[in-house]
Amino acid sequence: MTETRTIAFVLYPGLTALDFVGPLQVISALKEFGLGFEAVTVAAAREPLQTDTSLSVTASHTFEQVPAPYGLIVPGGGVPTFTALADEQLTDYVRQAARSAEVVASVCTGSLILGSAGLLEGREATTHWAAMPILRAFGATPVSRRWVVDGRVLTAAGVAAGIDMALHLAGELVGEDAARMIQATIEYDPQPPFGPIDWDRVDRGFMESWIRSAAEKGLADHPELLARLAMADGAQSMSP
């Protein structure tokens, strides 16, 4: 019998729900289709965690119960994600689990957690477009793409891009035909009511200011790390 390989989604307080729920739906289908993989969620404790919506979630496992998953996926968020950069229990788990993982991935600002765990040094990576410069603080080269693959590390851009990344990952794990079936099963065929994003009309300044504010709030008790991010971002407003 083929051994089931585990993909662990890392949860922490305040994360963005869609960052992990979208990819989790994709990866969970691998088990439903009998393709040799299972998706689990892991956190420091099995207790309800508030997301950035009115939804609370509880991990299926603790960090200790899944010390060496086949794959690791870290979601992002706003202020709580910046706070998580200084959470040693979280970053230690990500670092340790990544040592033996065949796949290490992130969605949105979850890439900053990978960076804080020392996993992006010398790699190309992406994140939410407003946080891209901050990747340099962790030795990464920012790349503006929907998802970026550098060796065994995959990083996805903001929020909904996690679904794209997860479908790509599914294709790598079990083949394109199966990944296409998963895409059809979840009917992932984006047709937004206002068409694709018109980047020329996006208020970049507003969102970039919001990201800096989130960093300032999330790392208020960690001025050295905040200053490190500010130096990479080139934004003096992030300095403590």
- pLDDT for 2 equals 66
CA angle at residue 11 from 141 to 159, to 5 degrees? 50
Whether the predicted pLDDT of 236 surpasses 50: no
- pLDDT for 238 equals 52
Over residues 156-190, the pLDDT tens digits come to 999 999 999 999 999 999 999 999 999 999 999 99
Over residues 184-227, the pLDDT tens digits come to 999 999 999 999 999 999 999 999 999 999 999 999 999 999 99
Distance CA 233, CA 220 (A): 17
Distance CA 112, CA 231 (A): 15
Over residues 69-81, the pLDDT tens digits come to 999 999 999 999 9
Q: Is 68 helix (H, G, I), strand (E, B) or coil?
A: coil
Over residues 74-113, the pLDDT tens digits come to 999 999 999 999 999 999 999 999 999 999 999 999 999 9
- pLDDT for 235 equals 53
Q: What share of the chain is helix, strand, coil (3-state, %, to 5)?
A: 45, 20, 40
Q: List the catalytic residues.
A: 108
Taking each helix axis from N to C terminus, what angle separates 161-174 and 176-185, rounded to the nearest 10 degrees? 140
- pLDDT for 234 equals 76
Taking each helix axis from N to C terminus, what angle separates 176-185 and 17-32, rounded to the nearest 10 degrees? 120
Spell out the domains of the chain, with CATH numbers in brackets.
Answer: 5-200 (3.40.50.880)
Over residues 7-40, the pLDDT tens digits come to 999 999 999 999 999 999 999 999 989 999 999 9
Quick one: which of 162, 115, 124 has its CA closest to 16?
162
In the predicted model, what is the mean pLDDT of residues 143-151? 97
DSSP annotation string for 111-168: HHHHHHTT--TT-EE---GGGGGGGGGGT-EE--SSEEEETTEEEE-STTHHHHHHHH
Whether the predicted pLDDT of 239 surpasses 80: no
Whether the predicted pLDDT of 4 surpasses 90: yes
C-alpha distance from residue 163 to each of 58, 110, 146 (Å): 21, 14, 10
Whether the predicted pLDDT of 144 surpasses 90: yes
- pLDDT for 3 equals 86
In this structure, what token pair is assigned to residue 67?
């010390």
- Residue 28 has φ and ψ, to the nearest 5°, of -60, -30
DSSP annotation string for 183-205: HHHTT-----TT-S--GGGS-HH
In this structure, what token pair is assigned to residue 204?
């970049």
- pLDDT for 240 equals 38
